[in-house]
Structure 1
Amino acid sequence: MQNSSAFKKRIKRRISGRPHVFFAVCPPGLSGICAKEVARVSQKAEEIFSDKYNISNINVLPGGIEFTTRLKTACLANILMGSATRILMRLATFKADGFRRLEEQIKAIDWELYLPSQTLPDIRVTTHKSRLYHSTAIADRIKPILHDRLFLKEPPRHYDVTGSAAPPPQTLMVRGENDRFELSLDMSGTPLYKRGIKKKIVKAPLRETLAFAILTRLDLSENDIIADPMCGSGTFSLEGAMMQCALPPGTFRSFAFEAWPGFEEKSITHARNRLMAAARTDMGVQPLPHILARDLDQTAIDHLKQTCTRHRVFQRICPVCDDFFNMTPPPIKNNQGVVVLNPPYGIRLDENNDITSLYKEIGHKLAADFKGWRTGIVCPGKKEFHALNLGLSTMPFFHGGLDLYTAIGVIGR
Structure 2
Amino acid sequence: MADVDAIVEDLTSTGVHLGPGTQTWLSDKQLEAFEQAVRAGDLPVHLVLVQPAEDGITAGDDLLVRVHDAGGPEGLYIGVNNVWDLDGPAYHATLPDDRQVNVALQQWGPVQGNTDVVRDVDAVLSGGGTDGRPPTLGDGLVTVAEALASGDLAAVADEARDAQQAAREADAADGNGQSGGTTGTTTPYADENDTGDAVLGGVILLTLLLGAVLGTRALVRRLRDRASTRAFTLPDSVLDRVREAGDADLARRARAAVLALGERIDAADLDGSDAAAWTATLDHYDAAGRLLPDDPTADMDPLDAVGAVVLAGRGEEALAAARRGRTFTPSTRCFLNPLHGRATRDHALEHASRRVDAPICATCRRDLEAGRRPDILDVVVRGRPEHYFETDREPWASTGFGALEPDLVRRLHRGGRR
Query: TM-score, normalised on structure 2?
Result: 0.24
* Larger helix proportion of the pair: 2
* Larger strand proportion of the pair: 1
With a CA cutoff of 8 Å and minimum separation of 6, indicate the structure with the bigger relative contact order. Answer: 1
Query: TM-score, normalised on structure 1?
Result: 0.25
